[in-house]
Amino acid sequence: MNVAAPQSSFLRWVYRFYMLAFLVYLAAPLFAAGMFAFNDSMFPALPWNGFTLDWFFSSTEPKIGMFHDRRLLRGLQNSLIIGVAVSALAVAAGTCNAFLFERKQFPGKNIFYIMMIVPLVIPGVILGISILVFASMIANGLEETFGIEWDFLRPGIFLVILGQFSFLTTITSLVIGARLRKFDIALEEAALNLGATRLRVLMTVTLPYLMPALFSAFVVAFLVSFENFNTTLMLVGSDAPLTITMYDRMVKVGSTPVLNAVSFFLMVGSGLLALLSVVVQRGGNKEA
């Protein structure tokens, strides 16, 4: 008997019904957003006019599918570039932070650790505007005093990367740090004892051990970057990533089923990536 569960069978059924209702609540908007990608209609609304893949692949007006919509594709491409760049940077910085906080003893460590966490509790909009303001101050200063034009400090992909990097690094540091904490330092000493140089120990023992965490930190960072809106909105220039492009479309043009197609694509893509990261993480924990 599970003492934690309700004892009367009526209550148990009520509880189960509640769980079911909750899962329906979770799934409903995702289902609705995905479903109309396949409806052969000009609007994402009932009635159901039959199944179609036009909103993905059609290249003729008025139904331009997402894979033929140049702006959406550019947005997707921008999202990919930003996502890969920012994830790689955040994983690199997160690895350094993990080693710094797990391996080194230094004065003020606790305060620095809290500073590392803080970006996670600053609202994304504020991270966005503060980086925008700071970058512009530098850019204006350079322009006024030296006459140098540093365009990458104006809204655009570079600032979006910086903005997302500023809080993703906290996430990657925590993910990688958690794994490094479980690492048995005796493994490194054993490798050293067997004659390996420090660099070799890092490459053959420590980094392979961290690999699952590095991978899942990368995936998490990539997904969060891909779906990020608040910080990105403030920093975006002409090269808007997919979420911003989609938002613009929604606000200016109104919703068309091509947005459902993009939604479906995003859901499947991130669902698969997230699942992959869970599997890799599981495998890593089992072996350790």
Partner 1 sequence: MHDLQCESLSKRFGAYTAVNSVSFNVPRGSFFSILGPSGCGKTTLMRMIAGFEEPTSGDIRIKGKSVLSTPPNKRPVKMVFQHLALFPMMNVGENIAYGLRCRGENKADISRKVAAVLDRVGLPGTQEKQVAQLSGGQKQRIAIARCMVLEPDVLLLDEPLGALDLKLRERMKIELKQLQHQFETTFLYITHDQSEALLMSDNVAVMNAGQFEQIGSPQELYNDPKTGFVAGFVGDSNRWPGRALSVSDGKVRVALDGGGEAIAQAGDDRIAAGSAVELFVRPEVLSVGAGSENRLAGTVESLLFNGASSRILVRSQGGNLVEVGQAVMDGTGRIVPGAAVDIGWSHGHGRCFSVSR
Partner 2 sequence: MPRTDIGKLSFILLFAPFALWIVLLIILPQLGIGYISLREKVGPGEYTFGLANYAAFVSEPIYWNTLLRTAWMSILVTVMALIIGFPVAYYIAKIAQRRSRAALFLMCLIPLWVSDLVRAFGWIVILRETGLVSSFLQKIGLISGPVEFLYNDATVVMGLVYTVVLFMIVPLVSTLDGMDNSLIEAGYNLGGSRLTVFRRIVVPYAMPGIVAGCIIVFMLTAGSYLTPILLGGKNSMWFTEQIYEQFVTRYNWESGATFGVLLLVFTSFVVWLGLRLTGQNLASTVAKD
Using CB under 8 A, pick the residue from 197, 230, 272, 275 that binds partner 1. Answer: 197
- Contact 157/82 with Cβ under 8 angstroms? yes
Of 224, 86, 220, nearest to 162 by C-alpha is: 86
Q: Nearest CA to 280 among 214, 208, 216?
A: 216
Tell me: does residue 259 bind partner 2 (CB under 8 A). Answer: yes
Q: Which of 15, 17, 57, 150 binds partner 2 (CB under 8 A)?
A: 15
What tokens does 69 get? Answer: 């919509």
Going through 97-201 in order, the beta strands assigned E by DSSP cover none
Tokens of 237: 């220039």
CA angle 47, 51, 52 (to 5 degrees): 115
Q: Choose the one of partner 2, partner 1, none that binds residue 263, judging by a C-beta under 5 to 8 angstroms depending on kind.
A: partner 2
Taking CB under 8 A as the rule, does residue 285 contact partner 1?
A: no
Which segments of the chain are extended strands (E)?
Answer: 59-60, 63-64
Residues 165-184: x where in contact with partner 1 by CB under 8 A, - otherwise, as a string: -------------------x
Q: How far apart are CA 219 and CA 87, in angstroms?
A: 8
Which of the ranges 48-56, 158-166, 168-176, 204-212 carries the binding residues for partner 1, by CB under 8 A? 204-212
Is 187 a binding residue for partner 1 by CB under 8 A? The answer is yes
Choosing from 101, 167, 209, 264, the residue that interacts with partner 1 (CB under 8 A) is: 209
Token pair in block for residue 28: 């409903």
Indicate which of partner 1, partner 2, none lies near residue 256 (CB less than 5 to 8 Å, by partner kind): none
Report the distance separating Cα 127 and Cα 154, nearest Å. 15
Q: Which two tokens stand for residue 8?
A: 């009367």
User: Is residue 200 close enough to count as binding partner 1 by CB under 8 A?
Assistant: yes
Compute the distance between CA of residue 172 and CA of residue 90 in angstroms, rounded to an integer.
6
13, 17, 29, 200: residue in contact with partner 2 (rule CB under 8 A): 29
Enclosing H/E stretch for 278? helix 257-287
59 vs 276 by CB, closer to partner 2: 276
Q: Is 13 in the site for partner 2 (CB under 8 A)?
A: no
Nearest CB to partner 2, comparing residues 6 and 208: 6
Give the residue, chosen from 40, 81, 152, 255, that forms a contact with partner 2 under the rule CB under 8 A: 255
Size of the site for partner 2 (CB under 8 A): 86
Q: Which residues bind partner 1 (CB under 8 A)?
A: 184, 186-187, 189-198, 200, 204-205, 208-209, 287-288
